[in-house]
Amino acid sequence: MIGRELKLLAGNANRPLAEEVSAALGIELCQATVGRFSDGEVRVKIDETVRGADVFVIQPTCPPVNDNLMELLIMVDALRRASVRQVVAVIPYYGYARQDRKHIGRVPISARLVANLLETAGVDRVLTMELHVGQIQGFFNIPVDNLRTDPIFADYIRDTKPDLSDMIVVSPDVGGVGRARRLAEQLRLPLAVLEKRRNADGLGIKEIRVIGEVRGKRAILIDDIVSTGGTLVRAAQALVDHGTVEVCACCTHGVFAGDAIQTLKNSPLKKVIVTNTISHVQAEKEEFIEYIPVGEHLAKTIRRIFENKSVSHLFPLH
């Protein structure tokens, strides 16, 4: 019987992360051309045989979201037509995840549409990290492994903060309480929650209510995404107004859209810690933004998926 073969393929969305995974696994990335035709269309050519292989395609669908998503879909199609055994889409950051429901009339559920596109293209399994909401897994009819990052942040905090006695974990909104509670339990720290009260028209924020005792504490805000930075900045200011002496933030995905970096730099936040699911050249140069590598975590998970072993044995799932 011929043994199965594990191969890695990377698009252009986050090449450094793909190389990190490759090094951790001790497997070279597949030789492939992933570029553009003169008219801007995505051009993909797999430059080595992949017949019968289990191919893990590493491609976060981060900005530019549509370009990176199309690259992923076309890479999957190319692999399918090259007679691979299985395609696993490794999507550390799942774009369109925040469009997960109809909050008003006549809007799409784009997170579901992306799931349909991936399945139609020929993806057999998805590996992702810290989905905006865990229920997105239910949009798929194929297995989805959603790796949590709170254990990664817990390890970081233990390693960098020798004294946790005056610290508190804070969720910037009610929707993120579960994520914050898990981190607080791992660190054996108290938990606080910020509740936004909106104006009657539902557009502006009237006030932010702090639920929990934060006075005199060093606060750790935890969220899944930092995009414009507005949520974190408002949360940090509310905490400082209530007597918090220091505020840091841990966010899995550093999108840093628009003027986010300057907005965060001018805020009460002392430090913003993110993982490298998204590559952002400007953010990586900022001293107040710290990156935690996750390539080794993804590599261990890829290895266990390939060997048909339990993934939850390594990392708790949602």
Q: Which residues are catalytic?
A: 196
Token readout for 245 is 């002496």
E strand residue ranges, the chain: 6-10, 32-36, 42-46, 54-58, 86-91, 125-129, 144-147, 167-171, 191-198, 205-211, 218-226, 246-254, 271-275, 289-292
DSSP H or E run through 183: helix 177-187
Return the bridge partners of 125, or none. 88
Q: What is the Cα 158 distance to its own chain's centre?
A: 21
Return the bridge partners of 197, or none. 207
Could you give the CA distance from residue 21 to residue 27 in angstroms, rounded to a whole number? 9
Secondary structure (H, E, C), 212-280:
CCCCCCEEEEEEEEECCCHHHHHHHHHHHHCCCCEEEEEEEEECCCCCHHHHHHCCCCCEEEEEECCCC
Q: What are phi and psi of 273, to 5 degrees?
A: -110, 125
